[in-house]
Amino acid sequence: MLSAVIATSDSERALVQTLACLVPGVTAGILRDVIVADAGSRDATAEVADIAGCRLMVAPGPLGARLKAAAHSARGPWLLFLRAGMVLEHSWVAEAVRFIADAEASPDARAAIFRPAGPGGGMRPTFAEVFALLRFAFGRQAGSEQGLLIAKSFYRQLGGHRNEEDPEIELLHRLGSRRTIVLRCLALPARPAIA
């Protein structure tokens, strides 16, 4: 049902935490594969991806090209783009399943992003988080740290990621707020690793 795409560049520690949050999707049977689109890391990113059973695509070059190539090779009809270091709340599986069912029943193509964490990364919405959601609702753009859940067919229809300075933000801009749903599940930054 769903393929996760994670862009990396010397991201071994951040990747571990992102992959850990995806485990509930595997156990629920909705996560079909995970593709790590790597820029040619010199740390242990490749080893982390291999141990976790991910497909590693190494392609030094623009981020947009790596994300597009990974999306093209994805096995699932739905794509979940995440940044290495992004951690989703455990409820992401139920939120994703609900969104996909609603989207497949609707004649209008839509995508989804996750709710941003407040400045403290807490679970309760802060004033800044509420303000960010209101700005998004009134036409401002979401951030790439919120991930993206989109049907592969809709992604292709949009032309996928482009080789722009920030291809994730540019794709969110093309989607626009009217075709983007904010899921209730939080996208949290990974906790710093303890040395």
Rounded to whole angstroms, the Cα distance separating 24 from 90 reads 7
Least confident of 18-22, 71-75, 131-135, 173-177: 131-135
182 pLDDT higher than 80: yes
Fold for 2-189, please state it. Spore Coat Polysaccharide Biosynthesis Protein SpsA; Chain A (3.90.550)
pLDDT reading at 38 higher than 80: yes
- The tens digit of pLDDT for each residue in 109-130 reads 999 999 987 655 454 555 544 5
CB 24 within 8 A of CB 56: no
Task: Dump pLDDT digits (tens) for 76-103.
Answer: 999 999 999 999 999 999 999 999 999 9
d(CA 36, CA 51): 12
Which residues in 46-147 belong to E strands, given as ranges?
55-58, 78-83, 86-88, 111-116
Q: What distance in Å separates the CA atoms of residue 33 and residue 43, rounded to the nearest whole number?
A: 23
Residue with tokens 């859940």: 149
Q: What DSSP state is assigned to residue 86?
A: E
Higher pLDDT, 138 or 32: 32
**For the residues 49-73, what does the mean pLDDT come to?**
95
pLDDT at 135 over 60: no
